[in-house]
Structures are given as C-alpha cells and as structure tokens.
DNA sequence: CGAGCGCTTGATTGAGTTCAAAAATCGTGG
DNA sequence: CCACGATTTTTGAACTCAATCAAGCGCTCG
C-alpha cells in the first residue's frame, strides 16, 4: 500500500496512527487485465484507489458505443460517486486496462470517516470539488474545442497514459472515432509535432 | 425570502429557529436584467439563490463565443464552486436574464455552517453530488447525442425555461449555433412535435 | 416609426463519421 | 523464439450533420 499510504499521509497530512486506523478498514486487491469491478445496474459500493496498474470507467450507449468517462492510473481514485451517494444503480462499467493492484475502499467507510474526522471530510470535499472542476473542464473542451485541440489537451495533461492506453480508448475518451484520432495524429506528425518522449 | 425559506425548511428540514439563524447571515438583493454578479478574473465569493427571476453563468472562449454553463430560475442556486472553493479567479460571467430578486449567500458562511451543523453539511454534500451528476449527464449528451436529441432533452428537463430564455441562449447552452437550433425546431414542427403547453 | 435584435431561411463549406480494406502491431502457443 | 491469428492503427472515399456566411423578415422598445 505504499502509494496509498503516501497519498493519505504526505498529501493529506495523516499521521502514522491515523493512517493505521484507515488501513485496517480497507482491503488490498489485485485483478487481471480485462476484469470488471463494476457493471451497470449494480450499486457502486466502493471506491478504488489504484496502487499499480490502470483502471477505467465507461458507459455503453443505446447504439452500443463505448464512451470512456475516466482513466485511473497509479494514485487515482475511481468510482461512481452518484451511484454510491444516491444509492442508485450505476450506468458505468469499471474494468482493468492493465493487471491492477488497488485498495478497495468501502463507501460507507468514507461517509463515516467524513462524519468523525474534520480533516478527512475536508479532504473528501476537496476531492469532490476537484471532480467538479475536471468535469467542467471536459464540458468546455467538448463544447468549444475540435478534435485536434482535445487531443493536444489530453497529451499535455496525461502524457503518461499516451504510452499505456490503446489509441481507440483515447479516441473514446475524447468523444471522436479512432479513425479521426488517427488522422489528427497524422496531421500533427506532418506539422512535425512530437510528444516530448519520442 | 419565501422561496428561500421554503427551500431550507421544507426541502431540507430546518426548523424555524435554525432558519432564523441562517436568515440573519444572508442578504436579500435585486438586480435588473442585464446586470452582472460575477466577472471573469474575480474570485467568486458568493452563491446566489434565485427568489424570483432568472440568472445564468457563461464563459466566452478565445474566439469570442459565449458558452452558457447554467440557467438558474426560481429556487436554483448559482455560483462558481471551483472559484469559491479553491480561491481562484473565476472564468465565468454571471448575469441576469430577467430582473431578478435573489439571496446573496457568502461562501465563508457555507463553509462555516458546514462545520457547525451536520445536517447543513449533509445538505451541502447532496448539492455537490447533484452538481456532479448533472455535469456528468451533460457530458454524456455532448458526447453521444446530436442537436435534436439535446434539444429534446432540454425541453423535457426545463420546459419552463423554454418560454423565458431567448432561443440563441438555449442554442449556446446546447453547444450548437442559433441557426442550427432554428432548423432543429423547424424539423420537429414538420414532424408535428409540439411542447405540451403550445 | 425606424433601428436593432432575434429568428428564419438558403446556399455553401467543412470537420468528423461511416464503411471498407490494407498495413502494422501484439500476444500466445507451438 | 518464431509464426500465425487477432487486434489495433492507418488510409481512402463517400457521406452527413452542423457551422458559416449572407440575406430577409418581424417584432419591440426607445
């Protein structure tokens, strides 16, 4: 749980004792690439903190098209907040893009911890606000930016994912077809653009 | 403050005394159509609860195009949560589409109330979660739905706004041009669709 | 009562989709 | 470690939805 521990102690300022309390309430798990952690129709009872590997959440629309909501590499938390909070069936899938080790955090635990500890609650609030901010940003991109700009934004914000996520998934996240993304990349290459690490 | 009171007592279950406490901490205000409550660059220090009238938030992108984020008719709260919470300059405008009476709620008040009252905090959490849910829904629509579907969704979810908001603003909210919206409506009319109240 | 704003309509353009198929890459078993 | 099948990416051509540009209509409000 090294990442998990660092996340809660360094970033959030829990001391050793406080962390030990939390630790006893969560579970360490592993799953293989392709395995599912959440299906539509289920109520999302957990948050998943990624220790190592890569998870994603996505929906499948009426036309059978996949729309990726979020990628969660190391140190990210993924879940369906609405489903958890309102106790409603989720509309998301969550599955593993790579073999993944993660910390399973019970939803009720988060709620209880929020009621007992002010600092935990503040931390949780901050996470909520960050979530809102990122959703808003995504809306702005979808409304205002073309395929190329969205891809450039993705590159600058998630350069590490570029190497780990198949292109068609990035396309799905950006809300375009894999073909379009391929053309965008071709165009960028022609104009001599290369991501830093090439 | 009749709406405001109803909102906090009926919907949220505050008793008379509790409401009086809150009441003393907020301010009743009026502004005229076209007046601004927030400009980009400012830090958003307030939430605005609409008693009567209609507010909106929007951004203007690099190409000078307006993108409406949210409409707030009676009993809605509008603000820039990210700006408030992270104490960052906002990117939004908030202004009045109609002459509007509203309750001005200080951001610090919300924070303090959340720390003092469990029920207030729960209520606030719920509002946050609702916000996330609506943002997520908007993303789904933007990614998956065409102009007509988005408009239909708008009609069913905000039938009251249809009569009060100029069409070009609805177009802006939907992420399409006024011309396109006009054509969508024409097409719907041809297919003999009418909103209930016609 | 006229100037401006909002809405409509038409013609054209363009970004991205769709469908199809070839090329490249990946991964798994022999 | 190689080879073969599957998956992913690329490329091409036709098409589609919505944007853009431009013009005209009608209402209102100053």
Residue B122 within any structural domain of the chain = no
Residue A195 confidence (pLDDT): 58
Residue B195 confidence (pLDDT): 59
Residue B58 within any structural domain of the chain = yes
Residue B160 within any structural domain of the chain = no
Higher pLDDT, A14 or B146: B146
Buried b (16+ CB within 10 A) or exposed e, B145-168: bebbebbebbbeeeeebeeebeee
CB contacts, 8 Å: A70 with chain B = none
Q: Which two tokens stand for residue A172?
A: 């799905």
Residue B7 confidence (pLDDT): 85
Interface contact B133-A175, CB threshold 8 A: no
State which residues form the domain around B46: 2-116
What percentage of chain B carries pLDDT values higher than 70? 96
* C1' of nucleotide D18: residue with nearest CA: B180
Q: Give the count of domains, chain A.
A: 1
pLDDT > 90? residue B130: yes
Residue A141 within any structural domain of the chain = no
Mean pLDDT of B50-67: 94
The per-residue pLDDT for range B152-190, each reduced to its tens digit, is 999 999 999 998 999 999 999 999 999 999 999 999 998
Flag whether the pTM goes above 0.85: yes
Residue B190 confidence (pLDDT): 85
Residue A133 within any structural domain of the chain = no
Residue A95, classed as helix, strand or coil, is strand
Using CB atoms and an 8 Å cut-off, which of residues 7-36 of chain A contact chain B?
none
Mean pLDDT of B57-84: 94
Mean pLDDT of B33-45: 96
Kindly report the average pLDDT of chain A as a whole number: 91
Residue in B81, B143, B175 closest to A67 by CB: B143
The owner of tokens 């509007």 is B100
Residues packed against strand C, CB within 7 Å: A 146-148, 175-177, 179-180, 183-184; B 166-168, 178-179, 181-183, 185-186
Higher pLDDT, B123 or B194: B123
Residue B193 within any structural domain of the chain = no
Residue B152 within any structural domain of the chain = no
pLDDT > 60? residue B128: yes
Residue A198 confidence (pLDDT): 41
CATH of the domain at A57: 2.60.120.10
Give the DSSP H or E segment for B78. strand B77-78
Residue B65 within any structural domain of the chain = yes
For A14-114, strand residue ranges (E) read: 27-31, 36-38, 46-52, 55-60, 66-72, 77-78, 93-96, 100-106
Kindly report the average pLDDT of chain B as a whole number: 91
Residue A160 confidence (pLDDT): 93
Q: Chain B interface, mutation test: which of A59, A115, A139, A176, most B Cβ atoms within 10 Å?
A: A139
Segments in chain A below pLDDT 70: 193-198
């Amino acid at each position: 749980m090294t990442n998990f521990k660092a996340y809660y102690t360094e970033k959030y300022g829990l001391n050793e004792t406080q962390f030990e309390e939390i630790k006893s309430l969560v579970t360490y798990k592993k799953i293989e690439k392709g395995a599912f952690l959440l299906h539509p129709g289920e109520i999302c009872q957990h948050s998943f903190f990624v220790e190592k590997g890569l998870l994603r959440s996505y929906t499948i629309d009426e036309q059978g098209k996949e729309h990726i909501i979020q990628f969660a590499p190391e140190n990210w938390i993924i879940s369906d907040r609405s489903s958890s909070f309102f106790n409603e069936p989720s509309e998301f899938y969550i599955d593993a893009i790579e073999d993944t080790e993660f910390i399973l955090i019970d939803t009720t635990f988060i709620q209880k911890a929020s009621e007992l500890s002010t600092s935990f609650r503040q931390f949780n609030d901050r996470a909520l606000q960050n979530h809102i901010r990122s959703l808003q940003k995504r809306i702005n991109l979808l409304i205002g930016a073309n395929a190329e700009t969205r891809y450039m934004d993705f590159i600058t914000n998630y350069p590490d994912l570029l190497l780990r996520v198949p292109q068609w998934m990035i396309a799905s996240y950006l809300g375009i077809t894999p073909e379009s993304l391929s053309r965008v990349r071709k165009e960028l290459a022609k104009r001599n653009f290369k991501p830093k690490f090439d």
